[in-house]
Amino acid sequence: DDQELLQPRELPAPEPGDLLVLHDAGAYGYAMASNYVSMGRAPQLGFEDGRVTLLSRRETLEDILRLETAQALDV
């Protein structure tokens, strides 16, 4: 039932090392993510048989700025 997803959820305060899992994020997942307003992509984690695996690390500011330049062009 999709209505269940739209209800507010109270969560305990996070502690260091806690994980928040967002299943089936659709267009908000990694494949469709962008760096709009220079926000880096969150890390991707895989979970299988009780083990968590880092699939892609969190993007850093250096990652985001890597292709940017302030070089003037003669046109």
Q: What is the pLDDT of residues 25-68, one digit of tens each?
A: 666 677 777 777 788 888 888 889 989 899 999 999 899 888 88
CA 61 to chain centre: 14
Residue 53: per-residue pLDDT: 93
Distance CA 74, CA 6 (A): 52
Question: For residue 20, which phi and psi values (nearest 5 degrees)?
Answer: -115, 120
N-term to C-term CA, the chain:
56
**Considering the entire predicted model, what is its pTM?**
0.55
More confident residue, 3 or 22: 22
* β partners of residue 51: 48
- Asked if pLDDT for residue 2 goes beyond 70, the answer is no
* β partners of residue 46: 53
More confident residue, 1 or 17: 17
